[in-house]
Amino acid sequence: MRPDTPATPAENEHADHVAEAERLERTAAMYPEDAEALLLQAAAHYELADARERATAHYDALLASADVHDPALIRALKAANLWEYGHEAEAQAIIAGLRAAAPRDPAPWVIIAESLEAHDELEPAHETFTEALELLVPPSERDSADLVYAKHPLVLGRHRVRRLLGADHDAWDALADRVNRTSVSLDELHDPKRLWALGSNNPAELRAEIDRLHAELGSFREALSRPFPVAVLHWPAGEYTELLTAYPALSTEYPSYEAHLASTESSLRELSASGTGNLGIVTGTVPSYEAFAASEASSPEDASLLPQYATTLAARGRAVAWPPEQDAGCWCGSGNLYGECHGRTA
C-alpha cells in the first residue's frame, strides 16, 4: 500500500493487532517469568491479524522451551491455528495426540473440539466433548448446577453439537440446561434452524430471533467482561515470613499464616456464593511485589496495593483456577488433597 493511500478499516485493524502483538513481545522480554502467558496473547493477536505463520512460530518456540508451563494448551492452540490456514493434516495429528494424552485441564479440550466443530467434523467434535466431560467431571458434579465455571464450555459445546447432529437429549444435555445463564433455552440458542429465521419476512419470527441473539450476546459479553479470573492473593509460607519480616506493618493485614490461608479460602467461597464465576488464586513473591510497588511509586507496606498486585498477576496469566478438584492437591501447598484440606465443607 502506498504511504498516501488511506488504509481500509480491515487493514487498520490488522495493523493494530500486529502492533499489540509486538508490544506483548517486548513485555515478555522484560518479564521472562511471564513470557508464556504474554506470548500466547501475542500469538492470538497475530491470528486476528491473519498473520498465522507468526502465531505458529510463537507456539513452536514455546513448545521448544524447557520450562513450558502448559504444553497441552499450546498444542491445542497451534492445531486450531494451523487448520485455519490450510494445514489440516498436521492439525488433525496434533488433535489426535491431545485426545490420547487426555489433559486434565478443560481448555485444550474446548479448543480442539471447537476447531473440529468449526470445520464440520461434528462426530469427532461430539466424541471429543464427551471424552473431556467423562474425564473431567466427577459424578458428584453431574447432577447439580455447581459445575466448575471452566468446564461450562465443554457441556455447552457438546449440547450445541448434538443439536446440529439432531441427537436426543441425554444427561449431559440436562446438565447443560442447568448451567445455562441466559434467559433463552439452549434448545433455542443452539437450534440449527435459527439461521434460516434471519431470512424470514415474518416480523414475529425476526423479533423472536433478535431476542435470542440478544440473550446469546449477553452471555458472550459476560465472558469477555472478565478476560482473566477474579483472583485472591496467596503467599506461600516462606514468602509470607519474608514479607512480614521486611514489612511488619502488613501484620495488620496478615495476623497469622493460618489466618491468611483461611481468609483466602473464605474470600473465594464468598465470591462464589455471590454468583461470581471464573475465580482464581495468584501466588505472590516478595521480589515481584516489591517491583510492583516500585512501579506504582508506592511502599510495599501500603496494604491497598495487595489487591492491585493480585489483579496484575492475574492479568499476566499467573492465576490458577479455583476451586481445585476434591482429589487434586490443595492450593495452599500442604501436600494434602483439596477435599481433605481447605476444600472441607463446614
pLDDT of 13-65, one tens digit each?
Answer: 667 889 999 998 998 888 888 888 889 999 999 999 999 999 999 999 999 98
Q: Would you call 3 exposed, middle or buried from its count of C-beta atoms within 10 A (0-12, 13-18, 19+)?
A: exposed
Spatial distance between the Cα atoms of 198 and 8, rounded to a whole number of angstroms: 28
Q: 29 is written with which cell numbers?
A: 522480554
Q: 314 is written with which cell numbers?
A: 492475574
Query: Does position 315 have pLDDT exceeding 80, yes or no?
Result: no
User: What pLDDT was estimated at residue 81?
Assistant: 95
Structural domain range at position 316: 230-340
User: What pLDDT was estimated at residue 301?
Assistant: 92
Percent of the chain at pLDDT above 70?
85
Give this prediction's pTM. 0.60
Query: Does position 2 have pLDDT exceeding 80, yes or no?
Result: no
In this structure, of 185-194, 266-275, 320-329, the range with the lowest mean pLDDT score is: 185-194
Q: Highest-confidence range of 142-151, 197-206, 223-232, 307-316, by mean pLDDT?
A: 307-316
Q: 33 is written with which cell numbers?
A: 517469568
306 occurs within a structural domain: yes
Beta bridge partners of 322: 279
280 occurs within a structural domain: yes
Query: CA–CA distance from 63 to each of 59, 71, 78, 261, 334 (Å)?
Result: 6, 6, 10, 34, 30
User: What pLDDT was estimated at residue 219?
Assistant: 56
How many C-beta atoms surround the C-beta of residue 115 within 10 A?
Answer: 25
Query: Does position 89 have pLDDT exceeding 70, yes or no?
Result: yes
Enclosing H/E stretch for 224 = helix 203-224
123 occurs within a structural domain: no
Enclosing H/E stretch for 231 = strand 230-234
Confidence of residue 200 (pLDDT cuts 50, 70, 90): low
216 occurs within a structural domain: no
Confidence of residue 217 (pLDDT cuts 50, 70, 90): low
209 occurs within a structural domain: no
Closest Cα partner for 48 from 93, 95, 92, 81? Answer: 81
Going through 121-198 in order, the beta strands assigned E by DSSP cover none
338: left (phi over 0), alpha (psi -120 to 50) or beta: alpha
Number of domains in the chain: 1
Q: State the average pLDDT for the chain.
A: 84
Query: Does position 227 have pLDDT exceeding 70, yes or no?
Result: no
314 occurs within a structural domain: yes
26 occurs within a structural domain: no
User: What pLDDT was estimated at residue 290?
Assistant: 87
Query: Does position 94 have pLDDT exceeding 70, yes or no?
Result: yes
Peptide bond into 103 cis (omega under 30): no
Spatial distance between the Cα atoms of 60 and 75, rounded to a whole number of angstroms: 9
Query: CA–CA distance from 16 to each of 2, 21, 48, 84, 215 (Å)?
Result: 18, 9, 10, 21, 30
User: What pLDDT was estimated at residue 82?
Assistant: 96
How many C-beta atoms surround the C-beta of residue 88 within 10 A?
Answer: 14
195 occurs within a structural domain: no
Identity of the residue numbered 111: I
Spatial distance between the Cα atoms of 123 and 120, rounded to a whole number of angstroms: 9
Enclosing H/E stretch for 80 = helix 71-84
